Amino acid sequence: MWTEDGPFHTYDGDVGTSAAFFDLDKTIIAKSSTLAFSKPFQAGGLISRKALLRSVYTQFVYVLGGADHDQMEKMRQMMSELVTGWDVSTVREIVADTLHNIVDPLVYDEAVQLIEQHHAEGRDVVIVSASGTEVVEPIGELLGADHVIATRMEVEEGRYTGTIAFYAYAEGKAEAMRELAADKGYDLARCYAYSDSMTDEPMLAAVGHPYAVNPDKELRRIAKERDWPILVFTKPVALRSSLPPAGPTLAAIAVGGVVALGGVLWAGARARRREGA
């Protein structure tokens, strides 16, 4: 595997106290990891057409130009409003059924190789994503991740309250990484991190070995300024063809958390494009 400037190397000696942190969408997964959930949630009566269409503009901004802090905060508010009152058991059932019967996300072969390489060298692998735990945890399980950091929603009496308990975004990701490192004994100076987005600059800056993967314009600029290596992933392959079959506990771990907004917004954008065609 190569960076834009030469061969890629990971081994740095004492790996027993280190980990590799991976963003999910557009870093491991070649598309939105939550795209496949929009139709099942709508079919299950959780998402209205009005909610889909209302999110179109926000998603276009995110897709076309990348989202800045203010736009991400608006998306956070929309996400909270969208899931308020949803029954957790219904979400759990839909996600589990989708994982088993529908979802076959495409992962970058280069990312799978990197995960295997870090494991072979003795590092833990941690998936860090702003998507909800109900999406990130089962995908992390399939990828063989040791830990997952993801957005979490508060639940009362079996329903989402609309309050986000933890938003895995920007500095929130970095803070969660530092907490996990303190708990597990990782030396962040020996750790690796991979992401495609400028919003993950804090995540990348938190470790001694940051890598920009298929970076957006702003992250590419910063990577060049700071001499961060740039990786280009170009070989998406079917997740199920690249990894061992999921174990019987997969449905059990697909629980709780915030419904990932990315899939909802993408579906709305596609609906609008079809209507305007």
Name the residues annotated as catalytic: 23, 25
Query: Rounded distance, CA 162 to CA 150, Å?
Result: 16
Dihedral-angle region of residue 45 (phi above 0 means left; psi in -120 to 50 means alpha; beta otherwise): left
Say which DSSP state 35 is in. Answer: G
- Of 135, 95, 104, 112, give the one whose Cα is nearest residue 239: 104
Query: Rounded distance, CA 135 to CA 237, Å?
Result: 19
- Of 134, 210, 129, 127, give the one whose Cα is nearest residue 170: 129
């994982």: which residue's tokens? 99
What is the CB neighbour count within 10 angstroms for residue 76?
A: 17
Residue 194 in contact with residue 27, Cβ under 8 Å? yes
Q: What radius of gyration do the chain's Cα atoms show?
A: 18
Residue 203 in contact with residue 193, Cβ under 8 Å? yes
List, in order, residues 6 or more apart from 235 with CB less than 8 Å away: 108, 109, 110
Phi, psi (rounded to 5 degrees) for 168: -80, 75
């996990």: which residue's tokens? 180
